[in-house]
Amino acid sequence: MDYNAILHFLYPNAQQGTDYYLYFQQGNTVPTLGNWNATKLGPQPTLAELQQAWPSVQLYQAQQQQLTLLSNNAKQAIIGGFSSAALGSTHLYPSGETDQLNLTASVVASMLPGVQSTFATLFYCASGSPAVWAFTPHTAAQIQQVGTDAKAWIQAQQATHAELAAQVASATTISAVQAVVWP
């Protein structure tokens, strides 16, 4: 049982060494809680009260770990690429951070005042199996559709993340928390 984790969970603003001391006397497996700052923290909890909080702490820790994992999965999904049929057939597009910036710049350029009807921008995409990547010309309408498809992809990943995070938050057991995984 991690008494420091329990105290941090119950009293998030409390600081070991300043607001309380938690120490083990020689030969004792149960800690002693001393120098409790009752002015800041309120009444000092008993060890029994701390022990009762341990399952809640474990659940909270499992939830935090799962939320971190899901956030990482969402980020990987977002930057892992998406598909668009803007060119008339399905093409794969990269969606790393730089790719998103480049796509935004291309979409904005396609919408600037005075853009000619012959506007074309080269954008990196892939088609075929195996995928062959190339800088491919896109008209204004095509690059705008790619931008729309990218936004829809990103929002779908964000929605999935939000839904899964809500499931983690409402889970009442560690096994239920760990059962919430990225699709």
Eight-state DSSP code of residue 45: P
pLDDT digits (tens, 9 = 90+) for 111-131: 999 999 899 999 999 999 899
Global pTM value: 0.84
pLDDT of amino acid 6: 96
CB 97 within 8 A of CB 45: no
pLDDT of amino acid 24: 87
Q: What are 87's two structure tokens?
A: 């060119």
DSSP 114-132: T--TT-EEEEEEEETTTTE
CB 110 within 8 A of CB 140: yes
d(CA 88, CA 171): 44
Task: With a cut of 70, list the residues of the chain below it in pLDDT.
Answer: none
The CA-CA-CA angle for residues 38, 40, 43, to 5°, reads 30
pLDDT of amino acid 178: 97
pLDDT of amino acid 29: 82
User: Residue 122 phi/psi, 5° resolution?
Assistant: -85, 135
pLDDT digits (tens, 9 = 90+) for 71-87: 999 999 999 999 999 99
pLDDT of amino acid 180: 98
d(CA 103, CA 95): 9
Residues 6+ apart with CB under 8 A from 126: 91, 92, 93, 132, 133, 134
3-state secondary structure of 23: strand
3-state secondary structure of 161: helix
Number of H helices, E strands in the chain: 6, 6
d(CA 183, CA 70): 10
